[in-house]
């Protein structure tokens, strides 16, 4: 089979598995993202305080503190001692992402993900090609820069322009400026740089990539020998470079589990693959030998 057109990515899977099956993880992800927004919003809108605060730090049902470890790290570098409730919250969050994969924040929680996914979807439909290219390492340099800047300015400087928290805070606390940030990021990803923000620049994502370096939950190309090279997974993947070693590395003795830190565990590849190559797995299920044994067990 030859590669399908960008806008046709996933059509084969729909024909093969049906629309719902071919969108199950995408729908579950959107449901999760919206649910998180909703639990934050029922407090300010209806007065039922399930969760107070926002993504940088929150308190759930008056007992569970959750804090973004990245912002607390910046605070620490800026000179603030972090022995506080926020520290406990950051540990809880860190342990969670150590298990499920750091970038799960990006694809399952972050409100910007919906924006950049929409931009990428439209980009494929409108056949927009080219644009500015950033080195794959840019986000890590920006991450380093934000930490240096925190130390030099003794303030959490990145928060002045961080679109992730600006948008989330804007939605929860009501600030019209969030709309402008959303539009800017959308247009940037649509017209200026393909997968530019989440895939190349965002230091929050870079931080969570590093956090998830040794995470347990992974996507695996467990039935990679069934791959018919349709390229649909590459088309929809927000970090397409992560797929190739796992999918095509059998000859080189590379296991089928996607071990790249930048994989967001979004599961879109599982959705769009008509041949059911991909599935959620764990990092230890990565032997090239095990692969043969697993073939029978994996759900259709």
Give contact residues for another protein (rule: CB under 8 A). Answer: 43, 49, 52-54, 56-59, 65, 67-68, 71-72, 75, 78-86, 89, 134-135, 137-138, 141-142, 145-146, 148-150, 152-161, 165-166, 169, 172-173, 175-177
For 30, other C-beta atoms within 10 Å of its C-beta total 15
Q: Rounded to whole angstroms, how far apart are CA atoms 296 and 300?
A: 10
- Which residue, 58 or 291, is less far from another protein as judged by CB? 58
Q: What angle do CA 217, 237, 203 make, to 5 degrees?
A: 75
Among residues 57 and 279, whose Cβ is nearest to another protein? 57
Instruction: For another protein, give the closer residue by CB, 49 or 280.
Output: 49
Q: At what angle do helices 69-77 and 203-211 cross, to 10 degrees?
A: 100
Q: Name which of 25 and 188 has its Cβ closer to another protein.
A: 188
- β-strand partners of 257: 220
CA dihedral angle for residue 25, residue 26, residue 31, residue 32, rounded to 10 degrees: 70
Distance of closest approach, residue 208 Cβ to another protein, in angstroms: 17
Q: How far is CA 163 from CA 81, 204, 229, in A?
A: 26, 10, 36
Q: Which is nearer to another protein, 181 or 258 (CB)?
A: 181
Mind spelling out the 3-state secondary structure of 105-133?
HHHHHCCHHHHHHHHHHHHHHCCCCCCCC
CA-to-CA distance for 147 and 79, rounded, in angstroms? 11
The residue (of 24 and 60) whose beta carbon lies closer to another protein is 60
Nearer to another protein, 19 or 173 (CB): 173
> Shortest Cβ distance from residue 11 to another protein (Å)?
36
Question: To the nearest whole angstrom, how small is the minimum distance from the Cβ of residue 259 to another protein?
Answer: 24
Chain-centre distance of CA 129, in angstroms? 23
Token output for 78: 């800026």
Q: Supply the minimum distance, in Å, between the C-beta of residue 13 and another protein.
A: 35
Joined together, the tokens standing for residue 280 give 């959620």
Provide, rounded to whole angstroms, the least separation between the CB of residue 137 and another protein: 6
Q: How far is the CB of 153 from another protein (least distance, A)?
A: 5
For the beta carbon of residue 14, count every other beta carbon within 10 angstroms. 16
Provide the minimum distance between the beta carbon of 99 and another protein in the complex, in angstroms, as a whole number.
Answer: 23
> CA 87 → CA 76, 81, 94, 170, 184, distances in Å?
10, 10, 10, 24, 33
């Amino acid at each position: 089979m030859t590669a399908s057109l960008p806008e046709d990515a996933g059509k084969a899977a729909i024909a093969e598995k049906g629309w719902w099956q071919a969108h199950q993880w995408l729908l579950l992800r959107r449901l999760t993202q919206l649910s998180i927004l909703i639990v934050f919003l029922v407090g300010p809108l209806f007065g039922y305080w399930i969760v107070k605060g926002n993504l940088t730090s929150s308190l759930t049902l008056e007992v569970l503190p959750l804090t973004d470890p990245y912002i607390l790290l910046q605070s620490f570098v800026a000179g603030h001692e972090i022995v506080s409730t926020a520290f406990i919250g950051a540990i809880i969050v860190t342990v969670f992402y150590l298990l499920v994969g750091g970038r799960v924040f990006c694809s399952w929680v972050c409100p910007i993900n919906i924006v950049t996914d929409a931009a990428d979807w439209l980009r494929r439909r409108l056949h927009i090609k080219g644009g500015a290219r950033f080195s794959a390492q840019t986000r890590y340099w920006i991450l380093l820069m934000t930490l240096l800047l925190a130390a030099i300015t003794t303030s959490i400087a990145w928060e002045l322009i961080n679109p992730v928290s600006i948008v989330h805070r804007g939605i929860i606390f009501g600030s019209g400026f969030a709309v402008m940030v959303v539009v800017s990021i959308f247009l940037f990803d649509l017209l200026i740089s393909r997968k530019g923000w989440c895939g190349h620049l965002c230091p929050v994502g870079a931080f969570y990539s590093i956090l998830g370096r040794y995470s347990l939950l992974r996507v695996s190309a467990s039935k990679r020998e069934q791959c018919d090279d349709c390229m649909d997974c590459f088309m929809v993947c927000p970090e397409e470079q992560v797929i190739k070693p796992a999918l095509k590395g059998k000859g080189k003795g590379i296991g089928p589990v996607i071990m790249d830190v930048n994989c967001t565990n979004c599961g879109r590849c599982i959705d769009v693959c008509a041949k059911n190559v991909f599935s959620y797995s764990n990092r230890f299920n990565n032997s090239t030998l095990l692969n043969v044994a697993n073939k029978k067990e994996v759900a259709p």
